[in-house]
Structure 1
Amino acid sequence: MAFGDASFLSRVRGFLIPIGLALLPCAIAPAFGAAALPEEVTVVAKGSGLFNIELETTVYRPEGPGPFPIVVINHGKAPGNPRFQGRYRPAIAARFFLARGYAVVVPMRQGFSKSSGSYIVGGCNVEGNGREQANDVVAALDWATAQPWADKSRILVVGQSHGGWTTLAFGTRGYPGVKGLVDFAGGLRQENCTSWQQGLISGAGNYGAQTTVPSLWFYGDNDSYWPTPTWKSMFEQYVAGGAKARMVAFGSFASDSHTMFGSPAGAPIWQPQVQAFLQEIGLPYEPQPAFAQYAADPAPVASGFAAIDETDRLPDASPAALEGYRVFLSHQNPRAFAFSAKGGWGSGWGRGDTRARALENCTKKAPEGACQLYAVDDEVVWAVKP
């Protein structure tokens, strides 16, 4: 099913249903070249009275009074105790949407990070798990749509991994103003459950039967969580239930396609597709000059200074820097490493903006020296400055 059909939107069967907050001190995320992200950490109330849950929520909002369209970005689930999972800061995606004039809302769901309550497992009922998680998306949107800067008639909901599954489940709610859903490698791996893959397939079918807004899906062939036949069957069952959706099957990506959304190298894969989707569903899709300061810098290119494993060329030859760089090399992409010309280093890998994190960590070690990126993923990008 192609979204480009002139008759596509006329066949979409309806819209999506309807949720307070105390501002915490404003935190500004680091950036490199582009303007720092306008980041605020807030607490969103879910429920009331004795059953009140507080959701740690990050908000990225452009300068100005608005009203701004809203994007909710739903996080995944890292291995281990969700309580120890760090606050999700999807800087690459936040910049993409900020540059187009959106306010970005990133809630940590119940039991994750500093959000109160306990993670609702739901046993082996993966469909029920997604529906429970979707309650937190409803809470975040009920708060966001009540803000004076929000345009509650123009909403997009996005999710990665467990957040993608949560997004698909949320699609069944019919929340007013939601125009579309974007799923990046959505699902929940439950290897201790019998037929856990079939649970994802049947759950996707049931979600599709109750969803009336279009969605865009991204899955790759070397995903460490989902075998290709599983996500293909999930999509087939979803659209068989009557939902309107388009799949972007982008093949293999780096060492694990599950990391595509959070990697700088993944931006050329998903950003043009999402921009086209925004246009098709009637949401702002082009970067706006008024918000150009938020646009991400282009990914740095290989400088030819050294090969990635030539440790004898490192600008900081201290034992600590060498050991830090070896640890960096042991991690899979996305990853980044930064040095200061005056001594000092920092690294970042895994989720979020690894380049910004490497620069932030470098600055902590070298407050008097200007840090710059040395390596990104598998390329050395360091350029000797005059």
Structure 2
Amino acid sequence: MNEQVILIPAGPDLSASLQTTVFRPNGPGPFPLLIINHGKDAGNPHLQQRERFIFMATAFVKRGYAVMVPMRQGFASSTGTYADHGCDMTANGRAQAADVLDAVAFAQSQDWIDADRIVIAGQSYGGLAAIALGTQAVPGVRGLINVAGGLRDDANDCNWRTELVRAFASYGDANKIPSLWLYGANDSLFSPALVARMYAAFVGNGGHARLHEFGAFKRDAHGMLASRDGEKIWWTETARFLRQVDMPTEQVYAVGPPPAPPKTDFAKVDDIAAVPYLSERGREAYREYLAKLTPRAFAVSPSGAWCWAEEGEDPDTRALATCAKKSKQPCQLYSVDDYVVWRGNSGAEAAGGALGGNGPTANP
């Protein structure tokens, strides 16, 4: 994946810097490009972690793309100021799109990027930004992928649903770039009824888009793109769209995650009494863990510490890392997904041992 983090100049005078994760195949290129745009967590955007969208990035690098994931101004370690236009969703989307346009301009100046073959995707607020960008005819940008796009704002009695519909109507009126929209039935932010209103407003005002509603996904379809299992949902429709805009879809590289820890015969995964070191509270936590979604991992320490992580990227690494923050003794993985990886007290290295941790659960 050749992952690296670079800084991209942004803003009216290019004085801001966007912390940007880059993935690319081996070789000099030029490669077609996917730019993925992130959403917004609650609270201070500077406290938001750098996004990688590793599952979507991997799928595209396999197919010969370079991938950029820019953190927009005011997010994570990017400089500049987060642009907040309150309940004016039209202005919010356009403000975020300005940073994406700066990322496009930077990418097109690089000799390892094919400046004429670019697709822009976005999740949640990033999806709104992508569709806002589509009001401009950007040379080289062939298509937009809107995954659960929108922005929720419950502050100051904001009628954000109506404002979102108004924003998409405005973007449809000026639309220059075709788009694919992906929304799930159990999205916690944007209900099917709201999605229908947004889509109707967009295409009713002249926007070029195709909506794919994929039904329920796990506990919340809004996080589908961050799930290891999400590719089964989004890739088929995405490949169809990519072919329509004359972008590559065939796999040309072998790219995959590190191998998972091997299964052992120590115990059945649901044998709670077999898990070593745990207090009664720890066994209650393991019982809770067994109801969590895969991918998941559970780590334990001789100190009695424990930690689990579910969904998202590398839950085994996250479980061990969180465990390691509070335990002075080594933590080991006990279970991954639906099987046990524990090899006993002497199997720390084989079972994925790391410096130890403590008991609170680790959610994504």
Partner of 2:133, secondary structure, is helix
Q: Structure 1, residues 79-127: CA drift from partner, whole Å, max 9, x if none? A: 1111100000111111100000100000001111111122111021011
CA distance in 2, matches of 1:129, 1:341: 47
1:148 matches 2:103: no
Instruction: Kindly indicate whether the alpha-carbon contact (under 8 Å) linking 1:335 and 1:347 is maintained by their aligned counterparts in 2.
Output: no
Shift of 1:42: 0.9
Partner of 2:29, secondary structure, is coil
1:329 matches 2:289: yes
Q: What stretches of structure 2 of length at least 5 have no aligned partner?
A: 344-349, 351-364
Q: Which moved more, 1:318-327 or 1:190-199?
A: 318-327
Distance verdict in 2 for CA 1:345–1:61, change over 3 Å: farther
CA distance in 1, matches of 2:324, 2:5: 21
Instruction: State the partner residue of 1:42.
Output: 6
Amino acid at match of 1:252: A
Distance verdict in 2 for CA 1:333–1:383, change over 3 Å: closer
CA distance in 1, matches of 2:295, 2:37: 22
Shift of 1:320: 12
Instruction: Kindly indicate whether the alpha-carbon contact (under 8 Å) linking 2:131 and 2:144 is maintained by their aligned counterparts in 1.
Output: yes
Instruction: Kindly indicate whether the alpha-carbon contact (under 8 Å) linking 2:299 and 2:320 is maintained by their aligned counterparts in 1.
Output: no
1:353 matches 2:313: yes
- Superposed, 1:257-268 pairs within 5 Å as 257-268=221-232
Instruction: With the length of structure 2 as denominator, give the TM-score of the two structures.
Output: 0.81
CA distance in 2, matches of 1:147, 1:324: 53
Instruction: State the partner residue of 2:245.
Output: 281
1:54 matches 2:17: yes
Instruction: Kindly indicate whether the alpha-carbon contact (under 8 Å) linking 2:307 and 2:323 is maintained by their aligned counterparts in 1.
Output: yes
Shift of 1:172: 1.2
336, 340, 346: which one aligns with 1:382: 340
1:208 matches 2:166: no
Instruction: With the length of structure 1 as denominator, give the TM-score of the two structures.
Output: 0.77
309, 317, 325: which one aligns with 2:277: 317
CA distance in 2, matches of 1:320, 1:109: 45
**Aligned length in residues:** 338
Partner of 1:182, secondary structure, is strand
Shift of 1:375: 3.6
Distance verdict in 2 for CA 1:332–1:256, change over 3 Å: farther
Q: Which structure carries more relative contact order (alpha carbon 8 Å, separation 6+)? A: 1
Distance verdict in 2 for CA 1:359–1:286, change over 3 Å: farther
Shift of 1:247: 1.1
Shift of 1:173: 2.0
CA distance in 2, matches of 1:364, 1:188: 36
Partner of 1:88, secondary structure, is coil
Instruction: State the partner residue of 1:242.
Output: 206
Instruction: Kindly indicate whether the alpha-carbon contact (under 8 Å) linking 1:38 and 1:61 is maintained by their aligned counterparts in 2.
Output: yes
Shift of 1:319: 5.4
CA distance in 1, matches of 2:308, 2:260: 17
The runs of 4+ residues in structure 1 deviating greater than 4 Å are: 296-300, 318-321, 323-328, 330-335, 338-347, 362-366, 369-373, 383-386
- Superposed, 1:16-95 pairs within 5 Å as 37-47=1-11, 52-95=15-58
Instruction: State the partner residue of 2:83.
Output: 120
- Superposed, 1:161-176 pairs within 5 Å as 161-176=124-139
1:227 matches 2:227: no
The CA RMSD measured in Å over matched residues stands at 3.6
1:179 matches 2:142: yes
Q: What stretches of structure 1 of length at least 5 have no aligned partner?
A: 1-36
